Amino acid sequence: MGLTREAKKLTLAGSITVTIADELLTFEFDAAGRPPQAAARKGVTVTAAKLGPDGNDWVAEVQMRYPDTGVTWESHEFYWARHNVMRLLPPKGNPIPADSVDFGEGTVRYVFKNRAKQVGAGWKFDYRTPGPMREITVPFELKDIPLP
C-alpha cells in the first residue's frame, strides 16, 4: 500500500547482505627467522614474505590468501584487512604494535620504527586476520517510524 500525505507513521522492511568472518585467526612467526615463512589455518594462508631490518626500522611484509568461498570483496569491505592485528612479541615485556601500515599490490607492509637493532632471537611476529569470509542475509523490519 502506498504512503498518503495523512500518514503519521511508516514501516520499512527488507534485508541487507553482510560479509563476516566467524573468527579471528592467529599466525605466529619467528621474527629472527628466515623468510619467507608461511602458515595456513582453516584455508587462510599468510606468508611473511619479508621479516627484518630496513635501515633503523624493522619491517614485516605479509601476503594473505583466502579460500574461494564465493564472497566477492567490495572496496569498502577491505576494512577487514586494514584492521588486522600485527605486533612484535619480545621475549619479555609487552607486545609492540606497528607504527605504520602500507598497502601494496597483494602485500601489506608493517613498519616498526627504530626497532631493527632490538629484534633478535626469541622475538615473535604475531599476526591476526579474519578467518574465511562468508555472506549472510539479515532481514529487518522497522515499525511505526514517526513522520514529521
Domain count, the chain: 1
Residue 8 included in any domain? no
Residue 53 included in any domain? yes
Beta carbons of 110 and 59 less than 8 angstroms apart: yes
d(CA 30, CA 90): 11
Q: In what order do the strands lie in the sheet with 24-30?
A: 24-30, 124-130, 85-89, 96-97
pLDDT for the residue numbered 143: 93
Average pLDDT value over all residues in the chain: 87
Residue 51 included in any domain? yes
Q: What is the pLDDT of residues 52-106, one digit of tens each?
A: 999 999 999 998 888 888 777 666 655 666 678 889 999 999 999 999 988 877 7
Residue 61 included in any domain? yes
Residue 92 included in any domain? yes
Domain with 49 in it: what CATH number?
2.60.40
Residue 145 included in any domain? no
Boundaries of domain holding 35: 16-139
Closest CA to 18 of 67, 97, 74: 74
The set of cell numbers assigned to 61 is: 611484509
pLDDT for the residue numbered 79: 60
pLDDT for the residue numbered 139: 97
Residue 127 included in any domain? yes
Q: What is the pLDDT of residues 33-49, one digit of tens each?
A: 777 789 999 999 999 98
